[in-house]
Structure 1
Amino acid sequence: MPFTRIAIRAGQSAAYKAALSEGIQRALVATFNVPEDDIFMVVSEHDENSFFFKPSYLGIEHSENLVLIQLTVSNTRTVEQKKALYRRIADELAESPGVRKEDVFINLVEVQTENWSFGNGIAQYAT
């Protein structure tokens, strides 16, 4: 049920974008127990006039290849699971497509389970 937004600088290949999506999905499956076929992701590309960040923040040096990842998920995971997810995403993306771990920025947005509708105007997870 995660909804993932990935923002990158324009100009990357289709294979690069697919590798980002696949790596994030592997991390979600491994750490958040997300079903393998539960994939809802969008990649947006931004030119230098619409992609802003400080090259250094909290002692972390970011390059022009910064990847901004925002995951909207149900508020059902522990802090340990969240930390494991962050590590796993950074590891997966370092492996393929070769993103520096310093360039993996992750923001997790938690919502209540009744805040999802996967179609047909039905709140499938509402109790």
Structure 2
Amino acid sequence: MPLARIDLRKGKPAAYRQQVGQVVYDAMLSIGVPKDDRFQIIQEHEPDGLIYDPGYLGIARTDDFICVQVTWNEGRTLEQKKAFYSAVAHGLHDAVGIRLEDVFINLVEVKRENWSFGNGLAQYAM
């Protein structure tokens, strides 16, 4: 049920974007997201459409900045979230060479009834 939105600067090749999506998906699998539960929106932006502070919290960011926002069900532990952050950042570094400093991750937790996967139904509503 996660929905991953991945935003990056325009100009990366399709293979790069596909690898980024795979890394995020693999990180989700590593903390228990079900196999085949892959919904991602990967969007490229012009330089003026992806705004970030290059030094917030003392972290030096470059134009390779990437924003990963995942909306998923509430209930994961702090340890699972930290493992996810690490898996994404290190996975992106290993796969496509992104510096750890350039990986920004935001998690949005929602209740299970806030999803419809099609047919106008709330498949997870109890």
Q: Same fold (TM over 0.5)?
A: yes
Structure-2 residue corresponding to 1:91: 90
SS in 2 for 1:61: coil
SS in 1 for 2:109: strand
Structure-2 residue corresponding to 1:11: 11
**Shift of residue 6, structure 1, vs aligned partner:** 0.5
List aligned pairs for 1:34-49, cutoff 5 A. Answer: 34-49=33-48
Structure-1 residue corresponding to 2:125: 126
Structure-2 residue corresponding to 1:76: 75
Structure-2 residue corresponding to 1:25: 25
What is the distance in 2 between the residues matched to 1:48 and 1:87?
A: 27
More helix by share: 2
What is the distance in 2 between the residues matched to 1:122 and 1:6?
A: 26
What is the distance in 1 between the residues matched to 2:57 and 2:122?
A: 39
Amino acid in the other structure paired with 1:6: I
SS in 1 for 2:49: coil
Structure-2 residue corresponding to 1:100: 99
Task: Give the superposed CA RMSD.
Answer: 0.7
Checking the alignment, whether the CA contact within 8 Å between 1:67 and 1:104 is kept in structure 2 is: yes
Query: What TM-score do you get using the length of structure 1 for normalisation?
Result: 0.96
Amino acid in the other structure paired with 1:12: K
Checking the alignment, whether the CA contact within 8 Å between 1:74 and 1:112 is kept in structure 2 is: yes
Structure-1 residue corresponding to 2:116: 117
SS in 2 for 1:70: strand
- Number of aligned pairs? 126
What is the distance in 2 between the residues matched to 1:15 and 1:26?
A: 16
Amino acid in the other structure paired with 2:4: T
What is the distance in 1 between the residues matched to 2:34 and 2:109?
A: 18
What is the distance in 1 between the residues matched to 2:49 and 2:23?
A: 25
Quick one: percent identity of the two aligned structures? 46
